[in-house]
Amino acid sequence: MELPIFKLFKRKRQGSSLERGEEMKIADFVAPSSIKIEPGLIRLGERMAKSFFIFSYPRYLTAGWFFPVINLDSPMNISFFFHPVETGGVLRQLQRKTTEVQAELIEREQKGLVRDPALETAYKDIEGLRERLQTSQERMFRFGLYLTIYGDTEKEIRDVETALRSILESKLVYLKPALYQQREGFNSCAPYGLDQLLIHNLMNTSPLSSTFPFISFDLSSNEGILYGINRHNNSLVLFDRFSLENANSCIFAKSGGGKSYAVKLEILRTLMMGTDTIVIDPENEYKTMVGAVGGSFINISLASPSHINPFDLPVLREDEEPEDVLRTNIINLVGLIRIMMGGLTPEEDAIMDRAITETYAAKDITLLSDPATWNQKIPLMEDLEAVLSGMEGAESLVKRMRKFTKGTYAQFFNQPTNVSLDTSLVVFGIRDMEDELRPMAMFILMRYIWNKVRSELKKRILVIDEAWWIMQSEDGASFLYGICKRARKYWLGVTTITQDVNDFMRSNYGNAIIANSSLQFLMKQSTATIDAVKKTFNLTEEETYLLLGAGVGEGVFFAGQKHVVIRVVASYTEDQIITTAPEEVLKIKKAKEEFMGRAEL
């Protein structure tokens, strides 16, 4: 039986409609310029096609085993053919097979031969299948699975074939090319429902159901919090981020996509599970939530009474060496000074490293002193300036340092620490900090938080909103990457949130931070950034279009190797606590004023 594509080609070869004076039809455009059928492939004009069939399966098939083939980044046609088999005939065959296997087992036992596990397993499988068929729990089918792949060159065809074999053979599934049957294979994979290859495997219902490729992962577990609703099957996405290889998370979305809303929901629900949360908040969006849960909001600005000393040292743990802690702290401080100074030359870098070491030594903080006394005499930025003043070649550094010790910025950079992390939710608001100082402020905050995290082992989440601010400098990006890489050892999960994907990915550490985050949440994206997001996360075309048209609070949620399309949902009370939509905030404010007015009456 010939199919339309071959008929169209014959018609084209006999002469076009225009040559015969007939009206031009769509068929004349659809048919390829030529078709050449070879033993191992078909040439369709300038394109090539090669058809395969699967001929062998393992004893057990797991659900979704065919899913990687569907996700392979290569065009292909796939056909499934299910031919029902009459149950009575199968039962008679199984009866004969059972008798043969049982007889062989009895014979081996009588001869005193060593038991054959493979034979015993086969007997149990046959008996189990017979029972399920007799009780109508199963049915039998002849199953054919065919694939046709496409390419512009024979090398491209070979590469796709190699990838297919690698995927399938890792699951003990084997395929062969339809040699000398490429035409039949092509027809069988075309959307006509014709099985012309007729190469089948006998399967019962259970393994057959596992071949269904379009599966939707469930992220529902007995522990964890509700992240949202799976849009594919309306199941709950319940998950514990600390159950993965690391508890880090990345969230990407354009402004208004609902990223901060989703994170606030996670914080509220995580607090109920006893996990502390620390937030670096660039827009003071989390301030309302702090009041609702009894947390601490610490405003960080040049005029704020809250201060953090960059020279603070962590409390040493039993498994830490004083030398390593002090050296790491000095290296991080040099990185901070680079950001503050707008960069350092190699000579200035060396001078600054020596100056910081001497600044600590002037306060008797050395490898020879008792680490228990280190935090009693922590130096300030002015102490570093005093040391630099006495060093040769540091004149330029001293001049640039003065604005941080005696100038406009001294109120923030030259003060002892007077904040703490005593509550379960601590939010550092940096909205009122000048834009040029934000990267420095975020670096200092992250150093302070990291020192506290290392000092006391406790289940915590660190949320860094608008992380692209810190990613603008190499030293800031490097420090953030270091935290993400080491967080698991200190029972910490780092959440990085950004709307400026290009700025985040421009840093050499952007991809590394994503790779060290087992959780990723992609929400609504703009057309300007979607290409970068698609490339970074290896998204399919469907996922790409979904992110472009996603509503507020919708997106693709990755958890390890699984990912689902998710919609974030909140209860009425949660929404009242976390919303930052201007119209909703105004309604809540008016409702509170009316309530207070009635209370006074």
From residue 513, how far is each of 251, 495, 505, 516, 525 by CA, in Å? 12, 10, 10, 5, 20
Residue 6: pLDDT band by 50, 70, 90 thresholds? low
Residue 309 CA to residue 382 CA, distance in Å, equals 11
Residue-wise pLDDT tens digits, 300-336: 988 889 989 999 888 887 777 888 888 888 888 998 8
Long-range contacts: 380-385, Cβ < 8 Å, 24+?
380/309, 380/311, 380/414, 380/415, 380/416, 381/310, 381/311, 381/405, 381/410, 381/413, 381/414, 382/406, 382/414, 383/311, 383/359, 384/311, 384/355, 384/356, 384/359
User: What is the fold, at CATH topology level, of the domain defined by 309-416?
Assistant: Helicase, Ruva Protein; domain 3 (1.10.8)
Please, are residues 480 and 470 in contact by the beta-carbon 8 Å criterion?
A: yes
Query: What local confidence, expressed as pLDDT, does residue 18 receive?
Result: 47
Q: Write the DSSP symbol of residue 436.
A: G
Residue 414 CA to residue 132 CA, distance in Å, equals 78
Helices (H), 242-380: 259-272, 287-293, 322-341, 346-362
Long-range contacts: 483-488, Cβ < 8 Å, 24+?
483/446, 483/450, 484/246, 484/248, 484/513, 484/516, 484/517, 485/512, 485/516, 487/246, 487/247, 487/248, 487/453, 487/462, 488/245, 488/246, 488/247, 488/248
Report whether pLDDT(480) > 70.
yes
Q: 10 Å Cβ neighbour count for 177?
A: 19
HEC-encoded secondary structure of 342-373: CCCCHHHHHHHHHHHHHHHHHCCCCCCCCHHH
Report whether pLDDT(11) > 60.
no
User: Where do we find the tokens 């849960």?
Assistant: 293
CB neighbour class for 215 (10 Å; exposed up to 12, middle 13-18, buried from 19): middle
First to last CA, the chain: 89
Helices (H), 147-252: 154-169, 182-189, 205-209
Residue 581: pLDDT band by 50, 70, 90 thresholds? low
| Backbone torsion region of residue 551, taken as left when φ is above 0, otherwise alpha when ψ lies between -120 and 50, otherwise beta | beta
Residue-wise pLDDT tens digits, 323-373: 888 888 888 899 888 888 888 888 988 999 999 999 988 888 888 788 778
Residue 462: pLDDT band by 50, 70, 90 thresholds? very high
Report whether pLDDT(17) > 70.
no
Residue 208: pLDDT band by 50, 70, 90 thresholds? confident
CATH of 246-298+422-570, one of 3.40.640.10, 3.40.960.10, 3.40.50.300, 3.30.1330.60: 3.40.50.300
Residue 213: pLDDT band by 50, 70, 90 thresholds? low
Which of 533, 531, 476, 473 shows the shortest CA–CA distance to 499? 533
Please, are residues 182 and 50 in contact by the beta-carbon 8 Å criterion?
A: yes
Residue 181 CA to residue 51 CA, distance in Å, equals 8
Which of 539, 475, 540 shows the shortest CA–CA distance to 501? 539
Which of 300, 268, 259, 288 shows the shortest CA–CA distance to 496? 259
What are the residues facing 8 on neighbouring strands? none
Cα 465 off chain centre by: 17
Residue-wise pLDDT tens digits, 34-80: 888 899 899 988 889 999 999 988 877 777 788 788 877 788 999 99
Q: Model-level pTM greater than 0.85?
A: no
